[in-house]
């Protein structure tokens, strides 16, 4: 056991820190539109890629640097400490699905531009009638010659309006048991018959979308893996989505806590013993998420695949983020009511769906009970 | 970076689990008339009393081993006062250079040491006129150890005999507390730096948090097993989602403590004293916040039987509460963390 940086890690951290000092954009002031935030994230994604910091733990043959997964923890920490824009999340988990289940042609075609940020992804999993019970999805893909024809209605396609491609789950075998008849497809967002309708979330921003597939035709080569592999692919994708390191959670938590501490110091709120306790508690919650991510990355560095332990981290990460947002509301006091702290209000509403997406907080508890504790199914 | 225990530590953990299981409690009746020191010979002959003995400045084993053993002893509900009378007493005396040669008797298992705590149990005590409480005593023989700060600011370890001490009604049936006798003279030993004292405190906080993690893990494992056997409404109660979610939350709570304990245990010897203490306070804060509620959740899942004296469930709850109060509960840790991060008040 050694939480210290190895010589390679220390060197990497030092180089990264210097690079961040040069490249992190100046903090914005005032309100920004969702499109501006998305543009800033994309620009940061490309910048990171140019710097060599995207896909660093990926195999060299797929455009990565083949570094240890522990470098991702360092990137997470330093990106947050530098108050940089958020790390791109989709690379981590959609990219992994391609890496693990795609064929060589798909990997070669999609992984490099995914890493570089040239291709932005979204995820077409949920439907109006299939959220937590994802396997009930009814979008269908019918094989017609060299093509599949996809029809259905997807919900919660996050960042769909900024995406170029979508990983879509569709039922290819209506007669198979519900987990078995699902397949995964790579679908361009500009396909004929595909119509996207933004969904405005509670913070007022169109962060997600619903997508209608009306006979969308994709070549047979758009199928990932084999027919019927869709469930396996989806579960792998969400397992990575649940890893706090893959979605940049440590970075975000560190950054938000540091900002809130500075705010509390500037208003004199840190003289209040209760505020001090709550800020310290927020630090403790963030530390737990960080340390658990370090354990999980260390485990991954030994070659172990991501498993159900991601659900434990997801529950803790969600609680940490939501509690921090509550504290921010409290410490900004009347400003959150009078519209003088729009970022804080927006951030608060952004943390609400965390206990819903990627498997709701209740689904995570089901996974922990049945898969980790081995409790019997109802 | 390697945030997982290595192979040697894994082997030590297996040894610790075996030792703990052999000196633990499985039934409430096991504790009746039991001598907490019955397991001392086992600990002594296994060589774990000397883990914190220092030769050439470095302890034989790091905080990780102490935490692994504390976790195992917590899981086994062992009444042997290893953390106080073994790890911490040795750590303190050894850091002071053991100028009077107290350690050989302790390590041989012939002299027993306890720690004198403040009446609030939140730190080492020893102020004149304040009787304090002995942690780690199991009879009115042996010594109390503490640190005394001289008028010149020098911190010195000190001991005194505890003949005439009286056993208190500790909330934990597997952790005794004693009231020291009318004040005897302190026998001064070697000196300690503030860094030494901070690292000692870090070890105490981490060991207590590890003990909580072990006890809660064993408690949860027990009740999950029970939920697979107990039938209500014609099905195993473990299949009810309401039951599953309580168990899942307990699991998350325990994993949170464990992640913080692992880091703190490593940090005790490896980071600057300030950082080691911050890591230990973090672990203790998580353990204190999650300890009692998680033990209560286990009692709840056992239903009526879990509320009885005859059931082992309340032993875990009592142990978690004991661990929480010693060396300061959640708020005490958070106050210190706030001072470290935001500057003192």
Model confidence band, residue A245 (pLDDT cutoffs 50, 70, 90):
low
Q: What is the DSSP string of B201-227?
A: HHHHHHHHHHHHHHHHHHHHHHHHHHH
For A272, nearest residue in chain B (alpha carbons): B345
Q: Which residues pair with B59 in a beta bridge?
A: B54
Contact yes or no for B248 and A368 at CB 8 A: yes
Whether B286 sits inside 8 A of A288 (CB atoms) is yes
User: Tell me, what's the pLDDT at A247?
Assistant: 61
Distance from CA of A288 to the nearest CA of B (A): 6
Does B122 contact chain A (CB < 8 Å)? no
Q: Which of A94-103, A177-186, A272-281, B110-119 has the least mean pLDDT?
A: A94-103
Report percent pLDDT > 90 for chain A: 67
Is 80 exceeded by the pLDDT of residue A248?
no
The answer to whether residue B345 neighbours chain A at the CB level (below 8 Å) is yes
Q: Decide if pLDDT at B345 tops 60.
A: no
Nearest CA in chain B to A5: B1
CB within 8 Å: A284 and B341? no
Tell me whether B294 touches chain A (CB under 8 Å). Answer: no
Least confident among A204-208, B294-298, B326-330: A204-208
Q: What is the reported pLDDT for A250?
A: 84
Residue in chain A closest to B227 (alpha carbons) equals: A375
Predicted pLDDT at A373: 97
Give the span between the Cα atoms of A284 and B257, in whole angstroms.
11
Q: Does the pLDDT value for residue A254 go beyond 60?
A: yes
pLDDT digit string, tens, across residues B269-285: 999 999 999 999 999 99
Chain B residues close to A70, C-beta within 8 Å: 1
For residue A97, what pLDDT band results from cuts at 50, 70 and 90? confident
Q: Is the pLDDT of residue A291 over 60?
A: yes
Tens digit of pLDDT for each residue in A314-328?
Answer: 999 999 999 999 999
The model's pLDDT over B128-161, given as tens digits with 9 standing for 90+, comes to 778 899 999 999 999 999 999 998 999 999 999 9
Q: Do A283 and B266 touch (CB under 8 A)?
A: no
Query: Using CA atoms, how far apart are residues A174 and A183, in angstroms rounded to an integer?
Result: 11
Residue to mutate among B67, B68, B262, B338, with most A CBs inside 10 A, is B338
Nearest to A365 among B228, B248, B270 (CB): B248
Confidence of residue A251 (pLDDT cuts 50, 70, 90): confident
| Structure confidence at residue A41 (pLDDT) | 87
Residue A171 has pLDDT above 80, yes or no: yes
pLDDT of A30 over the 80 cut: no
- State residue A69's pLDDT score: 84
- Please report where in the chains the tokens 């522990």 appear, as a residue: A70
Tell me the two tokens of residue B102.
Answer: 């107290």
Is the pTM higher than 0.90? The answer reads yes
Q: Would you say residue A175 has pLDDT above 60?
A: yes
Nearest to B255 by CA among A373, A323, A327, A325: A373
Closest Cβ opposite residue B282 in set A73, A270, A287: A287
Active site residue A241: yes
pLDDT at position B320 is 98
A182 or A58, which is more confident?
A182
Residues of A in contact with B255 (CB under 8 A): 292, 309, 312, 316
Select from B87, B11, B49, B13 the least CA-distant residue to B262: B13
- Closest CA of chain B from A83, distance in Å: 18
**pLDDT, tens digit, for every residue of A5-14?**
999 999 999 9
The tens digit of pLDDT for each residue in A132-146 reads 899 999 999 999 999
**Chain A contact present for B255, CB below 8 A:** yes
pLDDT interval class at B55 (50, 70, 90) = confident
d(C-alpha B184, C-alpha A249), whole Å: 56
User: Which of A28-37, A133-142, A193-202 is least confident?
Assistant: A28-37
Residue-wise pLDDT for A60-84, tens only, equals: 888 788 898 888 888 888 988 888 9
User: Residue B130: its pLDDT value, please?
Assistant: 85
Q: Please provide the average confidence, as pLDDT, over all residues in chain B.
A: 96
pLDDT average, residue stretch B164-174: 96
Residue B72 vs residue A69, higher pLDDT = B72
Dihedral over Cα of A80, A82, A83, A84: its sign: negative
Please pick, among A77, A241, A278, A309, the residue that the annotation labels catalytic: A241
Q: What's the gap in Å between the CA of A349 and the closest CA on chain B?
A: 24
Q: What is the pLDDT of residue B244?
A: 98
Q: What is the average per-residue pLDDT within B87-94?
A: 98
Q: Average pLDDT, whole number, for chain A?
A: 91
Task: Report the gap between the CA of B232 and the closest CA in chain A (Å).
Answer: 12
What is the rounded CA–CA span in Å between residue B278 and residue B58?
21
Look at B286 and A284 and tell me if their CB atoms are within 8 Å: yes
How close B342 comes to chain A (CA, Å)?
8
Contact residues, chain A, for B267 at CB < 8 Å: 3
Q: Which residue would you say has higher pLDDT here, B126 or B338?
A: B338
- For A335-357, b where at least 16 C-beta lie within 10 A, e where not — what string? ebeeeebeebbbbbebbebbbbb
Average pLDDT, stretch B165-174? 96
pLDDT score, position B201: 98
Which of A5, A264, A281 is facing B1, going by the closest CB pair?
A: A5
Q: What is the mean pLDDT of residues B2-13?
A: 95
Percentage with pLDDT > 90 across chain B: 92
**Cβ neighbours, 10 Å, residue B37:** 17
Q: Quick one: pLDDT band at residue A377, thresholds 50, 70, 90?
A: confident
CB atoms within 10 A of CB A25: 12
Q: Order across the sheet with B143-149: list the strands.
A: B166-167, B177-179, B133-135, B113-117, B143-149, B155-161, B187-192
């Amino acid at each position: 056991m050694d939480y210290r940086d190895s010589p390679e890690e220390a060197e990497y951290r030092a180089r990264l820190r210097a690079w961040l000092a040069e490249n992190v954009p100046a903090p914005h002031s005032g309100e920004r539109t969702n499109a501006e935030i998305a543009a800033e994230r994309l620009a940061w994604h490309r910048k990171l890629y140019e710097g060599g910091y995207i896909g660093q733990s990926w195999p060299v043959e797929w455009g990565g640097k083949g570094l240890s997964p522990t470098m991702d923890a360092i990137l997470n920490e330093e990106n947050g400490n530098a108050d940089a824009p958020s790390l791109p999340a989709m690379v981590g988990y959609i990219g992994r699905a391609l890496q693990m289940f795609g064929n060589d042609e798909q990997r070669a075609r999609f992984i490099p531009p995914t890493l570089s940020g040239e291709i932005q992804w979204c995820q077409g999993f949920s439907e109006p009638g299939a959220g937590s019970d994802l396997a009930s999805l009814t979008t269908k893909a019918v094989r017609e010659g060299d093509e599949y024809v996809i029809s259905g209605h997807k919900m919660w396609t996050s960042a769909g309006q900024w995406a170029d491609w979508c990983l879509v789950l569709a039922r290819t075998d209506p007669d198979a048991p519900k987990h078995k008849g699902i397949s995964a497809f790579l679908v361009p967002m500009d396909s004929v018959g595909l119509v996207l309708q933004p969904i405005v979330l509670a913070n007022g921003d169109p962060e997600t979308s619903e997508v209608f597939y009306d006979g969308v035709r994709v070549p047979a080569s758009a199928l990932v893996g084999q027919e019927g592999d869709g469930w396996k692919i989806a579960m792998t994708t969400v397992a990575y989505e649940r890893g706090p390191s893959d979605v940049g959670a440590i970075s975000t938590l560190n950054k938000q806590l540091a900002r809130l501490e500075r705010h509390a110091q500037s208003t004199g709120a840190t003289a209040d013993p209760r505020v001090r306790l709550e800020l310290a508690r927020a630090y403790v919650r963030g530390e737990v998420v960080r340390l658990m991510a370090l354990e999980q990355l260390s485990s991954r560095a030994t070659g172990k695949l991501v498993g159900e332990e991601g659900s434990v981290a997801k529950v803790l990460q969600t609680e940490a983020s939501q509690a921090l947002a509550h504290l921010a509301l409290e410490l900004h006091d009347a400003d959150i009511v009078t519209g003088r702290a729009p970022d804080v209000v927006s951030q608060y509403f952004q943390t609400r769906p965390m206990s819903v997406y990627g498997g709701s907080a209740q689904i995570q508890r089901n996974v922990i009970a049945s898969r980790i504790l081995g409790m019997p199914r109802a | 970076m390697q945030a997982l225990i290595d192979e040697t530590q894994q082997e030590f953990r297996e040894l610790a689990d075996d030792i703990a299981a052999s000196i633990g409690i499985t039934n409430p009746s096991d504790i009746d008339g039991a001598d907490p020191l019955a397991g001392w010979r086992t600990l002594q002959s296994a060589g774990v009393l000397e883990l914190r003995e220092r030769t050439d400045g470095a302890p034989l084993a790091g905080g990780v081993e102490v935490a692994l053993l504390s976790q195992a002893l917590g899981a086994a509900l062992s009444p042997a006062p290893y953390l106080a009378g073994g790890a911490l007493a040795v750590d303190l005396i050894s850091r002071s250079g053991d100028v009077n040669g107290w350690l050989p008797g302790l390590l041989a298992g012939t002299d027993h040491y306890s720690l004198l705590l403040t009446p609030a149990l939140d730190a080492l005590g020893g102020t004149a006129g304040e009787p304090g409480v002995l942690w780690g005593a199991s009879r009115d023989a042996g010594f109390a150890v503490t640190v005394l700060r001289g008028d010149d600011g020098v911190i010195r370890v000190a001991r005194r005999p505890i003949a005439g001490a009286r056993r208190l009604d500790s909330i934990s049936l597997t952790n005794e507390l004693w009231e020291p006798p009318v004040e005897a003279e302190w026998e001064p030993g070697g000196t300690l730096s503030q860094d030494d004292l901070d690292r000692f405190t870090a070890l105490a906080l981490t060991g207590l948090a590890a003990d909580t993690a072990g006890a809660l893990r064993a408690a949860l494992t027990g009740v999950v097993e029970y939920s697979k056997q107990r039938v209500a409404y014609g099905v195993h109660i473990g299949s009810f989602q309401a039951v599953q979610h309580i168990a899942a939350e307990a699991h998350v709570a325990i994993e949170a403590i464990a992640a913080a304990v692992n880091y703190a245990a490593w940090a005790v010897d490896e980071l600057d004293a300030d950082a080691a203490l911050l890591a230990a306070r973090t672990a203790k804060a998580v353990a204190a916040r999650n300890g009692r509620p998680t033990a209560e959740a286990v009692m709840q899942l056992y239903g009526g039987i879990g509320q009885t004296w005859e059931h082992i469930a309340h032993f875990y709850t009592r142990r978690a509460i004991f661990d929480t109060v010693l060396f300061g509960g959640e708020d005490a840790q958070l106050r210190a963390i706030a001072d470290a991060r935001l500057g003192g008040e």
